[in-house]
């Protein structure tokens, strides 16, 4: 059973860049993923950060175009996983997409990432395809997941 923390979800702030870079580099699931944090809003990326008592716990990055959206990354600090933070971040992204008129949300996930796959299934995402050798270090297929926003 997951214990949901009373984390606050907020928008990305200028002071978050260094912490997020460290979080991404410390997370094998996010290996090789980087983006210019300073230009995030200019690239149409939406960032939401989970924090509690001034401590940053996790981040989700997504973008929407017309009636579709894509979750690009979700990372929770290793010491705070399995506490409902990822769930809260996914729910925040889905709510933001719904408010923006999005009808379908997509994402890719490593086939071997069982924890993420369980989280996304719980959030209503279903497998809709596969991208062969999509990930590097190690090379691995990505499962393409899809969720209809109602």
- To the query of whether residue 120 is one of the catalytic residues in this protein, the response is yes
CB 91 within 8 A of CB 98: no
Q: Which of 29, 51, 92, 108 is catalytic?
A: 108
Catalytic status, residue 70: no
Kindly name the residue from 29, 51, 120, 135 that is annotated as catalytic. 120
Active site amino acids: 108, 120
């Amino acid at each position: 059973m997951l214990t949901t923390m009373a984390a606050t979800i907020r928008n990305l702030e200028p002071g978050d860049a260094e912490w997020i870079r460290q979080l991404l580099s410390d997370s094998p699931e996010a290996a090789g993923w980087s983006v210019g944090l300073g230009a995030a809003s200019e690239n149409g990326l939406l960032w939401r950060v989970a924090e509690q008592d001034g401590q940053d716990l996790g981040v989700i990055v997504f973008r929407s175009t017309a009636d579709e959206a894509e979750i690009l990354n979700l990372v929770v600090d290793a010491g705070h996983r399995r506490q409902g933070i990822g769930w809260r971040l996914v729910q925040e992204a889905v709510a933001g997409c719904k408010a923006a008129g999005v009808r379908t949300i997509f994402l890719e996930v490593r086939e071997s990432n069982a924890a993420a796959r369980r989280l996304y299934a719980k959030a209503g995402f279903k497998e809709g395809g596969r991208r062969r050798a999509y990930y590097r270090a190690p090379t691995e297929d990505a499962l393409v997941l899809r969720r209809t926003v109602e």
